[in-house]
Structure 1
Amino acid sequence: MMLCLFHRNSKHRLFAALFLMAALSTIFLVHFRQGNNTVQAEYVAGRDINLHKAKTVPLSIIKGTGFQSLEQEQTTRMAIFQNYCRGRGFKTNEPVSKEAISRFIVNDKYQILYCFVPKTGTTTTKHVFYNLEHGTNTTTLFLGSKHLKFLSEFTETEIYRRLETYIKFIVVRDPLERLASAWMNKFMDIRGAMRYWFIEHYQSMLETITDDRSREKVAFSSEDVEMTYLNGTLKHIPFLAFIRAIAENQTRWMNPHWQPVYQLCSPCQVDWNYIAHTETLVEDFHLFFKKAGIVGRDNIIPDMEERVGSRFYLEGFMKIPLEDIQRIGQLYKSDYDMFGYSFQDDLDSLFKQVVTENQQS
């Protein structure tokens, strides 16, 4: 894995970089093979990880002095996104895919279109727009298709008019954190038939950890845990199998809950008015309400809580081989580049976590 930590014009620094990479790779391998057995057993057996919710943080603390810094952040996000799309020849007057149209939730009261990307805070965001539309303040209602209006329900003329005139809103998330959240939610947290559907439907993901690449039993694949469902036996889907399956980018293993954003919302074909990040969703809502002219409804903006994916993504990915993480980085490269995230920053965070844990052990 290439680490951009030194300038290429220095032979001495290049040598130091290669030496550091070798050292870090060794640390990773040692950590992979000698990880804490208790923690591994927790993940393999499918038991929940003990995560504590963070306390609500005041808006002024989250983003410096308030709305001014939020507006600067939003301007930066839009510039990065627009430069990405222009640099690749995309135009906002090009047709939006049918897949994207089916993902747009319509709020006619405030004339807003929201393209929902799973595992980016969609449950929270759907409740916000539902409450805006109906003048309510619910957070517990299960919002299905009968509660929300989708752009695909309208005629072609009505769809075009809304895409041209409505405020367009999207929420995106760091790709590695989103993947960690998807695995935690669909293969660990949810209960009942839905959890077993995911485990049963994606049993073939286990193929990715039964070949020569996994003979040394990396990460969570060292145990064979079985779950009984109906008249058969289902095996747990380890995080390693999940990541490798996604990296192979086969249709049978793709799902909107972890599919790249560029495949879901035709982002470069849409003239977005606001790009929110899951990592800053609460403060983004405050600024968005102000820009959209939504007054007196701040009470429906949720409190800031710790995201499960933010805690697990370091713990999970530091146990994944570097070559598999690299392949994930390539698959989600467009999401990284167009929405202002950095794959290199994610790698640096993983390296720091590994070094810290080895120093403490």
Structure 2
Amino acid sequence: MLWMKWKMMMDSLRGRRRRLPCSLWFVLLFAAGGLVLFIHQQDLSEMVQQQGPGVKLGSTPRQSRETLSTQDRERGKSDNYQDLQAAEGLLSSPIPPMQFPHFEKSRQTATPGSREQDIGSLHVSKRHRKLLKTSPPIHNTKNNVSSPSSTSVSSSSAVSSSSSISSSSPIFSSCASGSFSPESWKKLSSVLEARQQLMKEICAKYKSSISKTITRHHVKHLFVEDKYKLLYCQVPKAGCSNWKRTLMVLAGQASNTQSIKHDTVHYGDHLKKLDSFDRQGIMHRLETYTKVMFVREPMERMVSAYRDKFENPNNYYHSLFGKPIISKYRVNPSWAALKTGNGVTFKEFVQYLLDVHRPVGMDIHWEQANQLCNPCLIDYDFIGKFENMEEESNFLLRLAGAPPNLTLPSFKDRNPTDKRTSMQITEKYFSQVSTLERQRVYDFYYMDYLMFNYSKPFKDLY
């Protein structure tokens, strides 16, 4: 009897000994799972903190894979610039070199000061062909032009030009007077026709796969002047304020441009935008009105925007852009800088512009001109240049039949004591950043350089 009790007790102990390892394994597995979950949550919280406000986690701004790969190499702290160039050469595209049409007249009559290249000598490198091939397409948005049967306007409706700038056209014959001699009139007409033709070549070569519909999003920067049938696409820092003043005078809202203040121009809502019309109104104006845009040397325009918004008092830009830029890119920022957003340096601004995870989104003042005006969807009749703004603007006003005494104003009403941003000033600012950063800014605006035929601003760019 005692033997049986002792045996039963030993069997019970053996069972507990066998169950003990199972319990221990369960505890160990539970602890390991909790540790892995804790580490994963820590990684996610760090990613969210680095992302900052204004950008969704995992989103990528409109930059090419070329820019992304350049940034990755920069983060890898590669200090051999020649190696970077060699690496870029390995990323060549199979697209054959672009063949540009030869415009004999345009080469002979390029407008002075416009910094336009000889169209026949334009060369697109293998590296930039890849940049163009991977550049972002123009996407449709939810705010399409509404209609009973369609939500978009076919781009074919915008293909036809409302007025020709050819020297043989009726409008040329009727307006070839005033301050323009027949020779200067023909010269400007030839240059403008060459710009239009170049734009068509670039769009056919590199943007042929984009959607062929125009939505409200694509026309939101176009201002409408119905009396003289003009559509003007605003490109800030390229004479935008003075052109808006001129449109207000044409519309009869002011007697002269000099009396219109800056705030009235930009915040008075005196000018209608094309996206405020219904589908039929948008289509009609795209088909019949003269479509106009003015551009500026891209890196000079960018410096002009930086000087205007960050080197002068501006509560809106310092608060909305300055504070997150300083917070992300400045080492040990002061409490005052974080609170006010004042004092953003040019290098910090460049870092923000090139960052694929910007702490705050883009702004119209430094957005690419081709993204603002969509010239591959909208067939512009007149592509003017800031560098020859006065002559080309007055040429357009005569074409449109504006009053003979109306000319584009040239005054500078914001920060009038500051010198206008020139290429000399632009070079001074870009001397504050590295060679690689300067190259990447050029890459960022490369489509503008190509579409609007601007030469490289620095010799070391490739």
Q: TM-score, normalised by structure 2?
A: 0.53
The residue aligned with 2:11 is none
The residue aligned with 2:348 is 241
Summarize the Cα distance change of 1:205–1:75 in structure 2 as closer, same or farther, 3 Å threshold: farther
Q: Deviations over 1:290-322 (max 9, x none)?
A: 322324143x32248873254521110122111
- The answer to which structure, 1 or 2, has the higher relative contact order (CA under 8 A, 6+ apart) is 1
SS where residue 373 of structure 2 aligns? coil
User: Within the alignment, does 1:161 sit opposite 2:268 as a pair?
Assistant: no
C-alpha RMSD of the superposition? 3.2
Give me the whole-angstrom Cα distance separating, in 2, the residues matched to 1:74 and 1:172. Answer: 13
Summarize the Cα distance change of 1:158–1:326 in structure 2 as closer, same or farther, 3 Å threshold: same
For residues 5-24 of structure 1, the aligned pairs below 5 Å read: none
Summarize the Cα distance change of 1:333–1:160 in structure 2 as closer, same or farther, 3 Å threshold: same
**2:316 partner amino acid:** M
- Which of 271, 280, 305 does residue 388 from structure 2 map onto? 280
In structure 1, the gaps of 5 or more residues are 1-20, 23-59, 211-222, 351-361
- Which of 387, 402, 407 does residue 294 from structure 1 map onto? 402
For residues 253-332 of structure 1, the aligned pairs below 5 Å read: 253-298=361-406, 300-303=407-410, 307-332=420-445
Summarize the Cα distance change of 1:228–1:240 in structure 2 as closer, same or farther, 3 Å threshold: closer
**2:255 partner amino acid:** T
For residues 26-41 of structure 1, the aligned pairs below 5 Å read: none
CA deviation after TM superposition for structure 1 residue 227, in Å? 4.9
Give me the whole-angstrom Cα distance separating, in 2, the residues matched to 1:293 and 1:270. Answer: 23
The 8 Å contact of residues 112 and 167 in structure 1, kept in 2 or not, is answered as: yes
Question: Aligned pairs, how many?
Answer: 275
User: Within the alignment, does 1:128 sit opposite 2:250 as a pair?
Assistant: no
The 8 Å contact of residues 227 and 236 in structure 1, kept in 2 or not, is answered as: no
Identical aligned residues as a percent: 25
CA deviation after TM superposition for structure 1 residue 207, in Å? 2.7
In structure 2, the gaps of 5 or more residues are 1-80, 83-110, 115-180, 413-418
User: Within the alignment, does 1:69 sit opposite 2:191 as a pair?
Assistant: no
Give me the whole-angstrom Cα distance separating, in 1, the residues matched to 2:411 and 2:194. Answer: 23
**1:277 partner amino acid:** K
CA deviation after TM superposition for structure 1 residue 102, in Å? 1.4
Q: Deviations over 1:101-142 (max 9, x none)?
A: 211100001001011112211111111111111162133332
CA deviation after TM superposition for structure 1 residue 280, in Å? 1.2
Give me the whole-angstrom Cα distance separating, in 2, the residues matched to 1:66 and 1:72. Answer: 10
Asked which structure has the greater CA Rg, the reply is 2
Q: Deviations over 1:77-99 (max 9, x none)?
A: 22221111111254999222433
- The structure that is helix-richer by fraction is 1
Give me the whole-angstrom Cα distance separating, in 1, the residues matched to 2:210 and 2:405. Answer: 31
SS where residue 294 of structure 2 aligns? strand
CA deviation after TM superposition for structure 1 residue 62, in Å? 7.3
User: Within the alignment, does 1:94 sit opposite 2:207 as a pair?
Assistant: no
The 8 Å contact of residues 245 and 253 in structure 1, kept in 2 or not, is answered as: no
For residues 212-251 of structure 1, the aligned pairs below 5 Å read: 227=336, 232-250=339-357
Summarize the Cα distance change of 1:155–1:112 in structure 2 as closer, same or farther, 3 Å threshold: same
User: Within the alignment, does 1:137 sit opposite 2:256 as a pair?
Assistant: yes
SS where residue 348 of structure 1 aligns? coil
Q: Deviations over 1:41-68 (max 9, x none)?
A: xxxxxxxxxxxxxxxxxxx997996333
**1:321 partner amino acid:** S
SS where residue 207 of structure 1 aligns? helix
The 8 Å contact of residues 199 and 237 in structure 1, kept in 2 or not, is answered as: no
Give me the whole-angstrom Cα distance separating, in 2, the residues matched to 1:92 and 1:279. Answer: 30
Give me the whole-angstrom Cα distance separating, in 1, the residues matched to 2:421 and 2:376. Answer: 29
Q: Deviations over 1:212-271 (max 9, x none)?
A: xxxxxxxxxxx9677579xx3545210001012112244624111111122222221001
Summarize the Cα distance change of 1:195–1:331 in structure 2 as closer, same or farther, 3 Å threshold: closer
Q: Deviations over 1:136-161 (max 9, x none)?
A: 21333322252111111111110111
SS where residue 308 of structure 1 aligns? coil
Summarize the Cα distance change of 1:225–1:336 in structure 2 as closer, same or farther, 3 Å threshold: farther
- Which of 291, 295, 298 does residue 172 from structure 1 map onto? 295
The 8 Å contact of residues 113 and 167 in structure 1, kept in 2 or not, is answered as: yes
**2:279 partner amino acid:** E
Summarize the Cα distance change of 1:132–1:346 in structure 2 as closer, same or farther, 3 Å threshold: same
SS where residue 113 of structure 1 aligns? strand
Choose 134-143 or 119-128, whichever is displaced more.
Answer: 134-143
Summarize the Cα distance change of 1:277–1:150 in structure 2 as closer, same or farther, 3 Å threshold: same
Give me the whole-angstrom Cα distance separating, in 2, the residues matched to 1:74 and 1:349. Answer: 30
User: Within the alignment, does 1:341 sit opposite 2:457 as a pair?
Assistant: no
The residue aligned with 2:95 is none
